[in-house]
Amino acid sequence: MNNTNTRRIGKAIVGISLSLLVSMSGNILLTSESAHAASTATAASSTAANRIIASGKTFLGTPYKFGAKTGVTRSFDCSSFTQYLYKKVGVRIPRSSRDQSKAGKYVSKSKLKAGDLVFSDTNRDGVINHVSIYIGNGKLLHTYRVGIGVTISTFKGSTWDRTYVTARRVL
């Protein structure tokens, strides 16, 4: 092989190598930007969940009233409570638990994260009639029944677990 052919092959190899290097570094940049965006979104939803939970806990003991007016904080029903708390962090959800159960994205019971909404059919008539906020560590923040009001309950084995229908992630 003569010197000219050797140089051409060498330049071709260098050119291909540089092209591959540039192409791969672009993918690395895109991947790291995507990972950063995903971690930022996760951190934002975690912060919103923490704010919702902290705010909700300030209402512990607030009386339950079926059909409580939206935005009124002297009493809540389950869905006015969730709607009020999520609105405080800029997330709009419908008024009724049945309609809230269609908002956001489905999440399985085994993948619940703090801030997810948990829906139950406590009447066992095929209709969602209760919403709770999963706060982590197997606990729910919610309001129900006159005399109980806003409270924290254990999820596993509870009425809300036995009558569980679905969960939604709206953050």
- Residue 4: inside a domain: no
- Residue 25: inside a domain: no
For helices 78-88 and 3-57, the axis angle rounded to 10 degrees is: 130
The CATH number of the domain holding residue 152 is 3.90.1720.10
- Residue 147: inside a domain: yes
The pLDDT assigned to 27 comes to 46
Domain with 118, as residue range(s), is: 47-169
Q: Which residues are catalytic?
A: 78, 130, 142
DSSP assignment letter at 111: G
- Residue 8: inside a domain: no
Structure tokens at 129: 């009639």
Averages of pLDDT over runs of 10 residues in the chain (171 residues) are: 56 51 46 48 82 98 96 96 98 98 98 98 97 98 97 97 98 96
- Residue 29: inside a domain: no
- Residue 20: inside a domain: no
In the chain, the number of structural domains is 1
